[in-house]
């Protein structure tokens, strides 16, 4: 059995922001190498990730520098001068690394881009575009809100194609943080929107 994962752009971007997620990216890489998982990678996700790459790096760096400033303020209040100065020197060194770009966000970006490079991307066919447009006309998820959901619709239509091609006991999963467009509104956001619930049988 292979677990085939279609991971939404929102998740890839969020993984770059939190240093605690680096072990998860390591695990994904190892599992991809061993064949325990296979990524499903629509070209639209690669494009969306690339468009948001620099914004995420800048935001992550600003957040980390803010944390450093706060931490250094706390350390400065330590009573033992020797301990305080040593810690501040180390914090200054790490802060400098972050400021010049040697930071966790860059490390996560490198890992994600390696995962992308090891995966065959799925081009957006005219058939998928047409079905996504039909979703827009019918105002069904992810077009149930006023926002432009074309990218999301292309992703879910690609998922539908992959489901139709499922072989053997493979399990196919869609992973997203975008609860506004894909989840039940005002309910358990772990559950799919009613327009999409037929795509998720809970087993395969």
| Residue 37 or residue 167, greater confidence | 37
Q: How far is CA 39 from CA 11, 54, 173, in A?
A: 13, 23, 10
Residue 102, pLDDT above cutoff 90: no
Residue in the structure block whose two tokens are 């358990």? 188
Average of per-residue pLDDT across 111-124 = 95
The burial class, CB within 10 Å (0-12 / 13-18 / 19+), for 59 is middle
pLDDT on residue 100? 59
Query: Which of the residue ranges 15-19, 55-59, 76-80, 83-87 would you say has the lowest mean pLDDT?
Result: 76-80
pLDDT on residue 187? 77
Residue 95, pLDDT above cutoff 80: no
């Amino acid at each position: 059995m292979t677990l085939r994962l279609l991971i939404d752009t929102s998740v890839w971007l969020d993984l770059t922001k939190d240093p605690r997620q680096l072990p998860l990216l390591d695990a994904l890489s190892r599992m991809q190498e061993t064949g325990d998982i296979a990524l499903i990678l629509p070209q639209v996700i690669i494009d969306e990730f690339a468009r948001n790459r620099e914004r995420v790096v800048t935001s992550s760096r600003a957040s980390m520098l803010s944390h450093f400033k706060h931490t250094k303020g706390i350390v400065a209040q330590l009573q033992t001068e020797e301990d305080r100065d040593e810690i501040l020197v180390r914090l200054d060194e790490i802060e400098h690394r972050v400021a010049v770009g040697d930071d966790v966000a860059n490390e996560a970006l490198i890992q994600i881009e390696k995962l992308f490079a090891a995966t065959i991307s799925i081009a957006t066919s005219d058939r998928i575009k047409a079905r996504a447009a039909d979703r827009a006309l019918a105002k069904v998820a992810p077009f149930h809100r006023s926002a432009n959901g074309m990218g999301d619709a292309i992703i879910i239509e690609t998922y539908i194609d992959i489901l139709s091609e499922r072989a053997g006991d493979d399990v196919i999963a869609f992973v997203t943080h975008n609860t506004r467009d894909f989840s039940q509104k005002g309910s358990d956001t772990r559950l799919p929107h009613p327009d999409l619930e037929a795509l998720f049988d809970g087993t395969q």
